[in-house]
């Protein structure tokens, strides 16, 4: 049997498996749909119509008036307090530049950021009129105020490691010490390396397929463009799929553990890593980053999530290549362990 | 075809094979018999070069077994006791998958796959996945996957466990046909009647040792219990039991109403002697039946236990 035919069969075995279809395609789609439904309001913040009261003595009133999404009204502090209570204005800027707000929220955050920039720019001696607050603000603050994108990116990162499941199953099925199917393989003259190659190919096709489905789904149905740099996103997804493949082989080769028990390992691993990487909201992620930064420094899912985030929303490649290198490293180490384990052809115990 | 000589296999302190030996020739069906844990599967795995063994030699086709010897592997078929088929592939795909491990040529493989499916009687179920097949049909599929490439040596490990009578007969007939086509079959089973009907020779294992081997006749000759003749008399004198006990080589007579079960020591002329006795004493009978010791009797005497213990 040639490589393509074997790969075809291995793909067929998975595609006909309800478990595979559910966990790798339906489940991620359901997950992102739920995220989209439950976080719809979080993502709808528009940078417009922020009503602000200013003291008549405030020196940068003219600058604020130039900013498209800020409506400036001169008023006294006492009037401002009334308007703030009535939610007629978002904030009040006193003559010394201090900001008075009631409550916290998106608009208050925006206003504070803009004021900070205006004052910093002024302090540096740069004419505030020459500064494009809108552009800078959008680049730095939208990310902070859209936690659901972290969840979407974490989901994609999680799916990218799903190759772990297929590679684990495929490698288990060819080892005589792990399955009766393995006895059939090992007793046959079939090339072990060809089987590994076909398994890897099939796992990668399946992994990329499920990642592609979810990315496509988000591109079509999500209101904003999450993938400003699709090639870079696909690059990291591909590297993550390879890493998942390698990790799956190592789990699959664990001796004397039933395949059903083994399946629990990647589930716990992936869900755990995704959780730490911000799948269930970026709050936990932030807390872990503060309390135990080493966890997410080692967490490949956190790196994948960060890299997808940066290349798509920040437009920079900070840490991108390091993440690719990290994933390639995981792949190479896993491949090495797998190859060493597979050199064995006879067993002491079956 | 197969030569196993004084093989020792240890699992730490447990000796799974203890100087185990046996030989099988071409076109022979060898029954590998023994209770659970006696070392049958270990012996097969050593012959398949899946397991390392500590001492002894195993040769297949005159060559020592070697996991790298693909030429030898290509001539071997294996049907494991547990089903080793893909649940998500249909009958044709399953057989094609496993046949593909041996046969690269697609046209040749298609021919072999069709032949194997017909051989096990699954032609009506070609597009069925195992989930839609009965236990017996799944077993047949398991066999088809192991024989499609037409091996010269076939290892069949308990192929009739948990199958219906129809499938069992189909499987046994198939094994006989394979033998007729030139295949050497190593057949392990718990069913001694089945083995007796099917196999040309037997290897009885216990505690990893080969405790007896040979044809049924060889085995019958190797034990003390031999022929047992049952006679149902019409007329019987009062002292018939004593008279029967005095016949040459009679070991024991068990009476039940007018039926006498007479057990003989080793002798070739027991039935003749008994008939002479009946004629001399002008006795009449309705039924006379001679039975050689069955494989169960042999097994019981050699191992001191029933096979299914």
- Coil vs helix vs strand at B150: coil
CB contact under 8 Å between B52 and A2, yes or no, is no
Q: Report the alpha-carbon distance of residue A28 to residue B56 in Å, rounded.
A: 56
Predicted confidence (pLDDT) at residue A28 exceeds the cutoff of 70: yes
Predicted confidence (pLDDT) at residue A301 exceeds the cutoff of 80: yes
Q: Which two tokens stand for residue B239?
A: 């002292």
pLDDT, average across residues B6-26: 92
Residues of A in contact with B145 (CB under 8 A): 184
Q: CA of B256: how far to CAs of B99, B232, B261, in Å? A: 57, 9, 8
pLDDT in the model for residue A125? 63
Q: Report the alpha-carbon distance of residue A288 to residue A279 in Å, rounded.
A: 13
* Residue A170 contacts residue A342 (beta carbons within 8 Å): no
Q: Report the alpha-carbon distance of residue A272 to residue A281 in Å, rounded.
A: 13
Percent of chain A with pLDDT over 70: 85
pLDDT in the model for residue A43? 46
CA distance B109 to chain A (A): 9
pLDDT, average across residues B214-237: 85
From the options 2.20.28, 3.30.70, 3.40.50, 1.10.3470, give the CATH code of B228-292: 3.30.70
Q: Which two tokens stand for residue B257?
A: 């109403």
Residues of B in contact with A14 (CB under 8 A): 88
pLDDT in tens, B95-145: 999 999 999 899 999 999 999 999 999 999 999 999 999 988 999 999 999
Contacts of A151 (CB under 8 A, 6+ apart): A35, A39, A278, A279, A280, A281, A282
pLDDT, average across residues A197-225: 90
Q: Report the alpha-carbon distance of residue A67 to residue A237 in Å, rounded.
A: 39
Looking only at the bridges linking them, the beta strands covering B55-60 and B63-64 are: antiparallel
Q: Which two tokens stand for residue A226?
A: 């999450």
C-alpha neighbours within 13 Å on the C-beta side of residue A323: 29
Q: Report the alpha-carbon distance of residue A276 to residue A265 in Å, rounded.
A: 16
CB contact under 8 Å between A347 and B50, yes or no, is yes
Q: Report the alpha-carbon distance of residue B50 to residue B52 in Å, rounded.
A: 7
From the options 3.30.565.10, 3.40.50.300, 3.40.430.10, 3.30.70.2740, give the CATH code of B2-221: 3.40.50.300
DSSP secondary structure letters along B182-221 = T-EEEEE-S-HHHHHHH-SEEEEEETTEEEEEE-HHHHHH
Residue A345's Cβ-count burial label (10 Å; 0-12, 13-18, 19+) is middle
* Residue B32 contacts residue B187 (beta carbons within 8 Å): yes
Q: Report the alpha-carbon distance of residue A194 to residue A192 in Å, rounded.
A: 5
Q: Which two tokens stand for residue A44?
A: 């709808």
Q: Report the alpha-carbon distance of residue B53 to residue B43 in Å, rounded.
A: 9
- Coil vs helix vs strand at B132: helix
Predicted confidence (pLDDT) at residue A107 exceeds the cutoff of 90: no
- Coil vs helix vs strand at B68: coil
Q: Which two tokens stand for residue B209?
A: 């040792």
CB contact under 8 Å between B78 and A6, yes or no, is no
Predicted confidence (pLDDT) at residue A111 exceeds the cutoff of 70: yes
pLDDT, average across residues B138-167: 91
CB contact under 8 Å between B88 and A16, yes or no, is yes
Q: Report the alpha-carbon distance of residue B271 to residue B291 in Å, rounded.
A: 10
pLDDT, average across residues A164-185: 83
Predicted confidence (pLDDT) at residue A133 exceeds the cutoff of 60: no
- Coil vs helix vs strand at B250: strand
pLDDT in the model for residue A294? 85
Q: What residues does each domain of chain A span? A: 3-41+147-342, 46-141
- Coil vs helix vs strand at B136: helix
Question: Of B204, B218, B226, B188, nearest to B302 (Cα)?
Answer: B204
**pTM for the whole structure:** 0.74
Say whether domain A46-141 belongs to CATH 3.40.1620: no
Predicted confidence (pLDDT) at residue A131 exceeds the cutoff of 60: no
Residue A213's Cβ-count burial label (10 Å; 0-12, 13-18, 19+) is middle
Predicted confidence (pLDDT) at residue A256 exceeds the cutoff of 60: yes
Residues of B in contact with A6 (CB under 8 A): 100
pLDDT, average across residues A170-178: 80
More confident site: B247 or A291 = B247
CB contact under 8 Å between A189 and B84, yes or no, is no
Q: What residues does each domain of chain B span? A: 2-221, 228-292
Q: Which two tokens stand for residue B73?
A: 């592997």
- The 3 state secondary structure assigned to chain A is CCHHHHHHHHHHHHHCCHHHHHHHHHHHHHHHHHHHHHCCCHHHCCCCCEEEEECCCCCCHHHHHHCCCEEEEECCHHHHHHHHHCCCCCEEECCCCCEEECCCCHHHHHHHHHHHHHHHHHHCCCCHHHCCHHHHHHHHHCCCCCHHHHHHHHHHHHHHCCHHHHHHHHHHCCCCCCCHHHHHHHHCCCCHHHHHHHHHHHHHHHHHHHHHHHHHHHHHHCCCCCCCCHHHHHHHHHHHHHHHHHHHHHHHHCCCCCHHHHCHHHHHHHHHHHHHHCCCCHHHHHHHHHHCHHHHHHCHHHHHHHHHHHHHHHCCCCCHHHHHHHHHHHHHHHHHHHHHHHCCCCECCC
pLDDT in the model for residue A281? 66
pLDDT, average across residues A62-71: 81
Interface of A with B (CB under 8 A): 1-2, 5-6, 9, 12-14, 16-17, 176, 179-181, 183-190, 345-350
CB contact under 8 Å between A183 and B45, yes or no, is yes
Q: Report the alpha-carbon distance of residue B167 to residue A70 in Å, rounded.
A: 83
Lowest mean pLDDT among A250-264, A336-350, B167-181, B222-236: A336-350
pLDDT, average across residues B201-223: 88
Same fold, B2-221 and B228-292: no
Q: Report the alpha-carbon distance of residue A14 to residue A23 in Å, rounded.
A: 11
**Paired strand residues for B64:** B59
Burial code (b: 16+ CB inside 10 Å, e: under 16) for B89-126 equals bbbbbbbbbbbbbbbeeeeebeebbbebbebbbbeebe
Q: Residue B72's closest chain A neighbor by CA?
A: A189
Q: Note the ipTM here.
A: 0.78
Nearest by CB to B100, which of A1, A14, A347? A1
Tell me which of A2, A180, A345 to substitute to probe the interface with B (most B C-beta atoms closer than 10 Å). Answer: A180
pLDDT, average across residues A128-144: 46
Residue found under tokens 């466990």: B161
CA distance B286 to chain A (A): 54
């Amino acid at each position: 049997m040639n490589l393509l035919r074997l790969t075809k069969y291995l793909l067929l075995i998975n595609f006909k498996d309800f478990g595979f279809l559910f966990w790798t395609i339906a489940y991620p789609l359901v997950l992102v749909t739920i995220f989209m439904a439950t976080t719809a309001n979080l993502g709808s913040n528009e940078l417009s119509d922020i009503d602000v009261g200013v003291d008549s003595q405030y020196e940068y009133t003219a600058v604020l008036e130039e900013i498209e999404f800020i409506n400036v009204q001169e008023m006294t502090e006492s009037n401002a307090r009334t308007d703030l209570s009535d939610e007629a204005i978002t904030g009040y800027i006193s003559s010394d530049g201090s900001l008075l707000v009631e409550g916290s929220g998106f608009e208050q955050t925006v206003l504070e950021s803009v004021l900070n920039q205006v004052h910093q720019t002024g302090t540096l001696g740069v004419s505030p009129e020459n500064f494009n607050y809108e552009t800078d603000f959008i680049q730095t603050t939208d990310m902070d105020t859209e936690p659901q994108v972290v969840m979407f990116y974490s989901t994609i990162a999680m799916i990218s490691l799903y190759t772990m499941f297929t590679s684990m199953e495929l490698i288990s099925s060819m080892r005589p010490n792990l399955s009766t199917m393995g006895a059939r393989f090992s007793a046959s003259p079939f090339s072990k390396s060809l089987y590994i190659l076909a398994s890897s190919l099939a796992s990668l096709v399946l992994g990329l397929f499920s990642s592609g489905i979810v990315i496509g789904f988000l591109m079509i149905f999500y209101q904003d463009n999450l993938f400003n740099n699709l090639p870079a996103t696909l690059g990291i997804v591909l590297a993550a799929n390879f890493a998942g493949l390698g990790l799956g082989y190592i789990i699959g080769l664990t001796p004397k553990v039933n395949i059903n028990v083994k399946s629990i390992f990647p589930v716990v691993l992936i869900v755990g890593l995704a959780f730490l990487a911000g799948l269930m909201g970026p709050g936990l992620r932030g807390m872990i980053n503060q309390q135990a930064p080493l966890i997410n420094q080692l967490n490949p899912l956190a790196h994948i999530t960060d890299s997808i985030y940066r290349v798509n929303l920040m437009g920079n490649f900070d840490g991108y290549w390091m993440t690719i290198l990290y994933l390639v490293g995981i792949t190479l180490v896993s491949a090495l362990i797998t190859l060493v384990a597979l050199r064995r052809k006879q067993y002491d115990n079956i | 075809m197969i030569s196993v000589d004084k093989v020792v296999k240890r699992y730490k302190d447990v000796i799974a094979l203890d100087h185990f030996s046996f030989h099988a020739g071409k076109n022979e069906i060898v029954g590998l018999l023994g209770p659970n844990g006696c070392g049958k599967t270990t012996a097969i795995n050593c012959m398949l070069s899946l397991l390392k063994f500590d001492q002894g030699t195993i040769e297949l086709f005159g060559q020592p077994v070697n996991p790298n010897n693909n030429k030898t592997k290509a001539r071997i078929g294996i049907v494991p006791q547990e089903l080793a088929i893909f649940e998500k592939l249909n009958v044709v795909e399953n057989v094609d998958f496993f046949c593909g491990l041996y046969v690269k040529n697609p046209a040749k493989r298609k021919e072999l796959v069709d032949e194997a499916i017909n051989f096990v009687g699954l032609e009506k179920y070609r597009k069925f996945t195992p989930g839609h097949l009965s236990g017996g049909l799944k077993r047949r599929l398991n066999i088809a996957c192991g024989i499609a490439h037409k091996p010269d040596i076939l290892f069949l490990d308990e192929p009739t466990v948990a199958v219906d009578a129809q499938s069992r007969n189909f499987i046994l007939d198939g094994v006989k046909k394979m033998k007729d086509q030139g295949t050497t079959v190593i057949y392990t089973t718990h069913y001694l009647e089945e083995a007796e009907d099917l196999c040309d020779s037997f290897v009885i294992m216990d505690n990893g040792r080969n405790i007896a081997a040979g044809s049924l006749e060889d085995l019958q000759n190797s034990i003390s219990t031999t022929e047992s003749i049952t006679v149902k008399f019409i007329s019987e004198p009062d002292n018939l039991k004593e008279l029967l006990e005095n016949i040459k080589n009679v070991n024991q007579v068990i009476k039940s109403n007018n039926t006498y079960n007479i057990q003989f020591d080793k002798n070739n002329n027991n039935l003749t002697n008994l008939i002479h006795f009946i004629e001399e004493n002008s006795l009449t009978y309705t039924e006379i039946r001679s039975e050689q010791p069955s494989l169960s009797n042999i097994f019981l005497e050699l191992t001191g236990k029933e096979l299914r213990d």
